[in-house]
């Protein structure tokens, strides 16, 4: 004999507060709920509208530099800390929570072009156009917790002088070496005053360098000669060189898929490549209307943020062709550097107007501690939006963004130029011998050649 017993969890049917209504059992049988889809569609529509109403991405500005912010670096050891360097040689450690300067690192006589923190967060490496690399001891996290408004100054642990100016620096993951970019790629050790190894493939200046987060001995660089080069420290020579039609200003590895990297290009696009197959881009990310200056991946690896010469910050999905978000303010000038926070909640941008700006990664996200009911409500709204996001009205509301007038006009102009080029290609193909004119896909069009 079978006996059916009604079993209900006490946690699910217990009121959180005395004012709450008693929870009741609901039957979700579709035969009983004939209007279920209509009701959910209206809820998805309302959820999309509420997201627009509560979208307040700008958190605040961090003012203190007296010249353009040229580079930034995250502190892996402390969630609230971020380093910034400016064109006048000033380096600062900021507390994101209170948006104040915690410590200064004086000493550079020219523009600071690169900053990188060690994996344990104890050392900071800086380089600049004054031909020096400096090692700094990062203040302890106790200094970040104090409410003392006075700014501390740090002294460099070591200083390395070289023959040429430096343009970028990056620290090795789980190691004691770091790489600098300039007239060539130089590999340094904390305990040595001269480079351990130097790479030169071509004669032009290297402007960006990034170590692979999954394989500490692999690094990628971009140079003024429009090349992207992969190096392996275990080999005495370079691995692969990719030459594009326009140069890449910055490069970033995907932390969750370390075989993939994304390059920020001068032609307003970003290109994601597989390091094992460089003859074709995996994805082309379009939306900017001017050169993309910097790029940084979220710690989750699902999206990345870009800063552009067109004075906007955009957030892209890692596999999407168009941005999901665009941030801008009236006073923000050309954006030279961007970073995701270590918990993927915030985005920090540094621009030509001497300010660092703090943004929410999700524009309508509610900050602070959420009650369980609020958390479930937000999750339900996201679920119904994703379920009905393909419908025209919901899609229109979710995708709509207010753009500054110069950006709006530039987007319309680029669209006109792209359509004209497409029509020209179609007419050339229609009036030519069949097979004589081939259309090159966009993923390969910007690549000139790959040198092994």
pLDDT digits (tens, 9 = 90+) for 305-318: 999 999 999 999 99
Q: Is residue 26 in some structural domain? A: no
Q: Of residues 259 and 107, which shows the higher confidence score?
A: 259
CB neighbourhood size of 191 (10 A)? 7
Mean pLDDT of 174-192: 89
- Predicted pLDDT at 26: 75
Tokens 């119904």 belong to which residue?
Answer: 384
Q: Are 295 and 251 in contact (CB under 8 A)?
A: yes
- Predicted pLDDT at 57: 94
Q: What are phi and psi of 302, to 5 degrees?
A: -90, -15
- Predicted pLDDT at 203: 67
Q: Is residue 338 in some structural domain? A: yes
- Predicted pLDDT at 174: 84
Which tokens sit at 338?
A: 């961007």
Q: Is residue 267 in some structural domain? A: yes
Instruction: Give how many domains the chain has, as a whole number.
Output: 1
- Predicted pLDDT at 143: 64
Q: Is residue 249 in some structural domain? A: yes
Tokens 């007239």 belong to which residue?
Answer: 183
Range of the domain at 136: 58-363
Q: Which of 139-153, 287-301, 357-371, 421-435 is predicted least confidently?
A: 139-153
Mean pLDDT of the chain: 90
Q: How far are the Cα atoms of 56, 86, 184, 247, 396 from residue 60, in angstroms, in the given order? A: 11, 19, 38, 33, 29
Pairing of strands 283-285, 292-297: unpaired
Q: Are 285 and 320 in contact (CB under 8 A)?
A: yes
Write down the pTM of the prediction.
0.89
Asked whether the predicted pLDDT for residue 142 surpasses 70, the reply is: no
- Predicted pLDDT at 150: 62
- Predicted pLDDT at 270: 95
CB neighbourhood size of 388 (10 A)? 21
pLDDT digits (tens, 9 = 90+) for 270-283: 999 999 999 999 99
Chain centroid, CA 438 distance in Å? 35
pLDDT digits (tens, 9 = 90+) for 381-429: 999 999 999 999 999 999 999 999 999 999 999 999 999 999 999 999 9
Q: Is residue 185 in some structural domain? A: yes
Q: Are 82 and 69 in contact (CB under 8 A)?
A: no
Q: Name the DSSP letter for residue 22.
A: P
Which residues partner with 263 through β-bridges? Answer: 251, 271
**Rounded to 5°, angle at Cα 15 from 9 and 16:** 110
Q: What are phi and psi of 377, to 5 degrees?
A: -65, -45
- Predicted pLDDT at 148: 63
Q: Is residue 421 in some structural domain? A: no
Q: What are phi and psi of 215, to 5 degrees?
A: -120, 105
Q: Which of 120-124, 208-212, 343-347 is predicted least confidently?
A: 120-124
Mapped onto helix, strand or coil, the DSSP state of residue 444 is: helix
- Residue 146: pLDDT band (50, 70, 90) is low
pLDDT digits (tens, 9 = 90+) for 320-371: 999 999 999 999 999 999 999 999 999 999 999 999 999 999 999 988 889 9
- Predicted pLDDT at 27: 79
Q: Is residue 375 in some structural domain? A: no
Asked whether the predicted pLDDT for residue 147 surpasses 70, the reply is: no
Q: Which of 141-150, 254-263, 357-366 is predicted least confidently?
A: 141-150
CA dist., res. 305 & res. 316, Å (int): 6
Q: Is residue 30 in some structural domain? A: no
CATH of the domain at 343: 2.130.10.10
Asked whether the predicted pLDDT for residue 8 surpasses 80, the reply is: no
- Residue 21: pLDDT band (50, 70, 90) is confident
For 247-406, where are the E strands, in sequence order? 248-253, 260-265, 270-274, 283-285, 292-297, 303-308, 313-317, 325-327, 335-340, 346-351, 355-360
- Predicted pLDDT at 107: 83
Q: Of residues 21 and 182, which shows the higher confidence score?
A: 182
- Predicted pLDDT at 145: 65
* Dihedral, CA of residue 85, residue 86, residue 90 and residue 96, to nearest 10: -50
- Residue 140: pLDDT band (50, 70, 90) is confident
Mean pLDDT of 150-177: 86
């Amino acid at each position: 004999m079978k006996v059916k017993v009604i079993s209900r969890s006490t946690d699910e049917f217990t009121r959180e507060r005395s004012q709450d209504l008693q929870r009741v059992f609901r039957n979700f049988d579709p035969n009983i709920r004939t209007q279920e889809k209509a009701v959910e569609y209206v809820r998805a529509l309302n959820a999309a509208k509420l997201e627009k109403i509560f979208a307040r991405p700008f958190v605040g500005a961090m003012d203190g530099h007296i010249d353009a912010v040229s580079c930034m670096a995250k502190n892996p050891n402390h969630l609230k800390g971020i380093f910034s360097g400016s064109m006048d040689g000033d380096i600062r450690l900021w507390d994101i929570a209170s948006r104040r300067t915690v410590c200064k690192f004086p000493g550079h006589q020219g523009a600071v072009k690169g900053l990188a923190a060690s994996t344990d967060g104890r050392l900071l490496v800086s380089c600049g156009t004054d031909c020096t690399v400096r090692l700094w001891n990062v203040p302890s996290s106790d200094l970040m917790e104090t409410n003392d408004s006075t700014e501390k100054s740090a002294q460099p642990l070591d200083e390395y002088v070289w023959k040429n100016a430096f343009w970028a620096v990056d620290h090795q993951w789980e190691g004691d070496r770091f790489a600098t970019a300039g007239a060539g790629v130089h590999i340094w050790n904390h305990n040595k005053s001269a480079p351990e190894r130097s790479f030169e493939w071509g004669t032009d200046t290297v402007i960006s360098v990034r170590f692979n987060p999954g394989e500490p001995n692999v690094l990628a660089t971009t140079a003024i000669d429009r090349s992207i080069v992969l190096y392996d420290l275990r080999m005495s020579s370079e691995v692969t060189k990719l030459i594009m039609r326009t140069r890449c200003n910055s490069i970033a590895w995907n932390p969750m898929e370390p075989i993939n990297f994304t390059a920020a290009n001068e032609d307003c696009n970003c290109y994601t490549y597989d390091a094992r197959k460089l003859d074709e881009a995996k994805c082309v990310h379009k939306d900017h209307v001017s050169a993309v200056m910097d790029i940084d991946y979220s710690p989750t690896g699902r999206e990345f943020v870009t800063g552009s010469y067109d004075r906007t910050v955009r957030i892209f999905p890692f596999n999407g062709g168009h941005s999901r978000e665009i941030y801008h303010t009236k006073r923000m000038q050309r954006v030279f550097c961007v970073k995701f926070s270590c918990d993927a909640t915030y985005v920090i941008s540094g621009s030509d107007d001497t300010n660092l700006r703090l943004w929410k990664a999700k524009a309508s996200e509610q900050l602070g501690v959420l009650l369980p009911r609020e958390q479930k409500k937000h999750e339900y709204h996201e679920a119904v939006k994703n379920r009905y996001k393909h419908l025209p009205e919901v899609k229109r509301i979710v995708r709509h963004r207010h753009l500054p007038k110069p950006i709006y006009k530039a987007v319309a102009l680029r669209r006109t130029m792209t359509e004209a080029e497409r029509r020209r290609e179609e007419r050339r193909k229609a009036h030519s011998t069949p097979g004589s004119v081939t259309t090159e896909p966009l993923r390969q069009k910007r690549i000139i050649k790959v040198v092994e």
